[in-house]
Homo-oligomer: A and B are copies of this chain.
Amino acid sequence: MRIRGAGRIARAAAEALMEHAKLVEAESPEEFRQTMLEAARHLLATRPTAVSLKNGLLHSLKGLKIQLPGDGASADVEALRTGMIEAADRFIAFSNGAVAALAEHGSKRIKDGFTMMTICNSSAAVGVITKAHRDGKKIKVYACETRPKRQGLITVRELAAAGIDVTLIVDSAARTYMKQTDLVFVGADTVTAQGNVVNKIGTSQVALCAQEARVPFFVCAESYKFSMDTLEGDLVEIEEREPEEIADPSDFPGVKFGNPVFDITPAKYINAIITESGLIPPQGAYDVVKTLKEELDDTQL
């Protein structure tokens, strides 16, 4: 599974589980449940640190908890199958709706004539900005290149295609252009229970520059990007990627490479986290996580 973007990953996982549910053969509800859980665990193992993946699976697995007719194994298995398919479907619809709702909420912050900055390629952040443009506001965007993988190139293409005035800058120029920036919108890979945000490397530097210049900094994150495990103190594991993303190591004998894919933006540099339910103070993440824990039984996985 080589999908990019926490939201896309979550939906893909739900879809995979749904497809699996359609095909699985089982003698008993127990066996069906077991098979689905195994499938979910298998999917989770492909990216054990992806919070949205885990949450997407848990949302879908709620389908295993439906009331069974109890009139024999095969009817019960079919009821579970339907439950699973519906739950996964519901999550996919919810996820797509969440991005739209988030764009609606966030775009209200953008006034006519405003200039935004973003980093990486967050569909949620792009959605917020595009919504403002579609609402007829005259806006401008600075998009950071986002080394090493340069996802900013996708962002500028998307924004330019939407007809938005967008300027590509290198990541190091964020502080220089911050003086002409009114608002920053970024995405999130994971939000911790303490309101810190794990996102593409460079995000926290942009946040620091925004803070220094009194520019509001907003994080766009659907609720399934909030990590329940961090409430118990778990650290979000940050993957170290291959040096080749930066340069060809064979050209640089004796040189080491440091390539962490994410960094952590502390809550104190964030004005609000924009979720499908609205703009919450970053410390409100604690509340979101508590609600998630009630809703999703994470002991299953």
* Residues of B close to A230: CB separation below 8 A: 279
A28-59 Cβ-contact flags toward B at 8 Å (1 or 0)? 00000000000000000000000000000000
* Residues of B close to A170: CB separation below 8 A: 147-148, 171, 201-202, 246, 259
* Residues of B close to A144: CB separation below 8 A: 172
CB within 8 Å of B: which A109-134 residues: 109, 111, 119
Chain B's nearest CB lies how many Å from the CB of A241?
Answer: 11
* Residues of B close to A93: CB separation below 8 A: none
| Given A173-B201, A205-B209, A232-B108 contact (CB < 8 Å) | yes
Select which of B175, B179, B232, B271 is within 8 A of A205 by beta carbon.
B175
A235-269 Cβ-contact flags toward B at 8 Å (1 or 0)? 10000000100110000111111111001001110
* Residues of B close to A171: CB separation below 8 A: 147, 170-172, 202
- The interface-forming segment of A15-23, A82-90, A161-169 is A161-169
Q: How large is the interface on A (under 10, 10 to 19, 20 to 34, 35 or more residues)?
A: 35 or more
A280 touches B194 (CB 8 A): yes
**Is there a chain B Cβ closer than 8 Å to A231's Cβ?**
yes
| Given A167-B257, A201-B170, A257-B168, A252-B283 contact (CB < 8 Å) | no
Closest chain B residue to A204 by CB distance? B175
Which A residues lie at the B interface, using CB under 8 A?
104-109, 111, 119, 142, 144-148, 153, 156-157, 160-161, 163, 165-179, 193-195, 201-202, 204-205, 208-209, 212-214, 230-235, 243, 246-247, 252-260, 263, 266-268, 271-272, 274, 277-287, 290
Q: Could you list 11 A-B pairs, sorted by A, with CB under 8 Å? A: A105-B233, A109-B235, A156-B255, A166-B254, A178-B214, A193-B280, A205-B205, A212-B214, A231-B280, A268-B268, A283-B283
